Amino acid sequence: MKILAINGSHRAGKNTATLLNLALEEARKAGAETELVELSELDIAYCSGCNRCLAKPNCSLSDDMDELTGKMLAADGIILGSPDYFGNVTARMKCFIDRTRPLHMTANRLKGKVGGFVSMSGLDNCGSEATNAVLGHFFATHEMLVVHPRPEGPVLGTGVTGSLMAGMENGKPRWRRSVEEDPIALAMARQLGKDMAELIGRLED
């Protein structure tokens, strides 16, 4: 069982990576082999719109996306993570999404794999919903099975969405120093890893 996490943040190792690593940690406890890829450390060019992938499932460009594509094809599960940038994924994550076009245009080569996603925002209820929708649509387009984590007990949320806003005090927002101070996001991230490993295990049986 292999689970690959891909971080679309421009800042490697920060809040979005924290959520992804928590999910991977729980997946490893369930026996998964895991890896985190930081897109900010890769050289991935923009899709040029040459349409070569309309006829063949490959790309006219050759860069670090070649190796990443191989890792995606070898993985049983893929987790995407992105901060909310103006109500959307980062430009870096969007570039990556565009470059997966060769995996979709002649056949859905990721079909049947298990997917999950995390997002990170500054404010509560302000942008993360749209970011989550973009990530969810990526998996739907590739015909992947999307996991929506649900810890036991009270409902905590509809997805893994970290926020730096910790509420209001005297009419002003209170801020967290990092997502590590967001208990709901941490719990949901851990549950994502557990649920993905469980679903992959069921599919392998």
User: 49-85, pLDDT tens digit by residue?
Assistant: 999 999 999 999 999 999 999 999 999 999 999 999 9
Contacts of 59 (CB under 8 A, 6+ apart): 52, 53, 65, 99, 101, 102
DSSP E strand stretches across the chain = 2-7, 33-38, 77-83, 114-121, 145-146, 160-163, 165-169, 172-175
Distances 197 to 130, 154, 171 between C-alpha atoms, Å: 26, 22, 43
Residue 125 scores a pLDDT above 80: no
Residue 124: which pLDDT band, with cuts at 50, 70 and 90? confident
Closest CA to 4 of 64, 65, 80: 80
Q: What pLDDT is stored for residue 33 in this prediction?
A: 98
What's the whole-number mean pLDDT along residues 107-125?
Answer: 94
State the number of CA atoms in the 13 A half-sphere of 76 facing the CB: 18
CB atoms within 10 A of CB 39: 23
Amino acid identity of residue 70, one-letter, is G
Q: Is 137 helix (H, G, I), strand (E, B) or coil?
A: helix
Mean pLDDT of the chain: 96
Confidence of residue 164 (pLDDT cuts 50, 70, 90): very high
pLDDT in tens, 126-148: 879 999 999 999 999 999 999 99
pTM score: 0.96
Q: Residues 13, 88: contact at Cβ < 8 Å?
A: no
Average pLDDT, stretch 26-53?
97
